[in-house]
Chains A and B, each alone.
Chain A
């Protein structure tokens, strides 16, 4: 981690990587919403931080002024390669229409309701097996031994890559997202990930399977096969976006249940409560912050934004806005009015939202089936990651 200069003013000099923000962003957002709802910083380039629900939603819908060509919260400031391997980035997330539109249509059927149902049995077996591995110990790290192990294996199966690669994938994804302010780690992770998929693409061309990567290689758009660089970008996105995010949601939810045993009891004894509860946990602990790039001079809520400025799509703060949610800082498992935007808003709504939701539900169900009553081992041992994706990275819990 790089050294971080202390933050004097959250409205004019915020830093999403500061430990204060990573530990408790909620208080900071609450203060900003009433004092300066769209904060600014010049750290890592001119960047804006909206905190109100309606502002975040309006920004997400204004794709003319706010482009997705750079969606990273932490900009990469290292030297760009002469010939980029991914000239189109990782579409559709890092694209505007029309590239966004057709790549998204290629990806969405793999994460449709019907398709996701077909991944549920495998997910359940995986979760049950993980719990079986530590249930007799009376203690476990619910983040590293459980949450972290789940989405990477499900995504791996969809991409058609071997489960033995899971830990390696996890390392690459963390390098790209979690340790993004360390250029060396980020660069190495990115290169390793891309090189792996370059080799996989070549392999699938010779020996196609029934996986997403093979299907993309066999896809034609307007009579032409997809360019390899687009296939690589979509594959890289599927891995990067499908691992850290859901794992963080599972971890945060387990943290909540460890610290709110009454909620754990409700979910363990009333399975029909799960449907609304999952959405409420997603609202309260939304893991993902995205970014947009300002395309030209524009004033937003009185803020003069310039071409190239970054705007952080603060979905987690939007979901805690008292103007949009009653008692936003309370987890109300049966919250009936819940238009949360944990999966974003507008045309970039998370393409894997059905999968993430299923993984979160099954992970909690299988945990509670064997471990309905559990507590934090020691609050001081819990560590959180922040920046683009917020969630616990160390979550030791004990159970009778």
Chain B
């Protein structure tokens, strides 16, 4: 699983960081980005899906090849 935060949609609710701090980092302005290249370790896939389902701006997307 691989995820990405759309910087044009994220407005800094930080819900993803609250749910999965291992997968996301937030800057001083609250904007979120994925840690590393966005590859989700298998044991964190549930948390990644939870983050996607809680983002009010629909900013987190799962990348499918």
A336 touches B53 (CB 8 A): yes
Query: Whole-angstrom distance from the CB of A316 to the nearest CB of chain B?
Result: 14
Bound CA–CA A347/B56 (angstroms): 12
1/0 per position for B8-31, CB-CB distance to A under 8 A? 000111110111000000111110
Number of A-B contacts (CB under 8 A): 56
Which one of A105-113, A231-239, A306-314 is at the interface? Answer: A105-113
Whole-angstrom distance from the CB of A364 to the nearest CB of chain B? 15
Query: A112 touching B54 by the CB < 8 A rule?
Result: no
Shortest distance from the beta carbon of B12 to any chain A beta carbon, whole Å: 6
| 8 Å CB contact of B15 from A279, A336, A347 | A279
In the bound assembly, the distance between CA atoms of A109 and B29 in angstroms comes to 6
Total chain A interface residues with beta-carbon distance under 8 A:
24
Name A340's contact: one of B19, B26, B56 (CB within 8 Å). Answer: B56
How would residues 124 to 158 of chain A score, 1 for a CB under 8 Å from any chain B CB and 0 otherwise? 00000000000000000000000000000000000
Query: Counting CB contacts under 8 A, is B55 at the interface?
Result: yes
Cβ-neighbour of A279 out of B27, B29, B54, B58 (below 8 A): B54
Majority-rule SS of B interface residues: loop
**In the bound complex, do residue B30 and residue A338 qualify as a contact, i.e. CB atoms below 8 Å apart?**
no
A177-185, A289-297, A349-357: which lies at the interface: A349-357
Cβ–Cβ < 8 Å partners of B56 in chain A: 57, 339-341, 345
CB distance from A15 to the nearest CB of B (A): 29
CB pair B18–A353 under 8 Å, yes or no, is no
CB-nearest residue of chain A relative to B31?
Answer: A108
Chain B proximity of A129: nearest CB distance (Å): 27
Structural contact, A108 and B18, CB atoms closer than 8 A: no
Minimum CB distance partner of A275 in chain B: B18
B30 touches A339 (CB 8 A): no
Q: Which residues of B contact A (CB under 8 A)?
A: 11-15, 17-19, 26-30, 50, 53-58
23 contacts between A and B (CB under 8 A): A105-B29, A108-B12, A108-B30, A109-B29, A112-B30, A113-B26, A113-B30, A114-B28, A275-B19, A279-B54, A336-B53, A337-B54, A339-B53, A339-B54, A339-B55, A345-B11, A345-B56, A345-B57, A346-B11, A346-B57, A349-B13, A349-B30, A353-B30
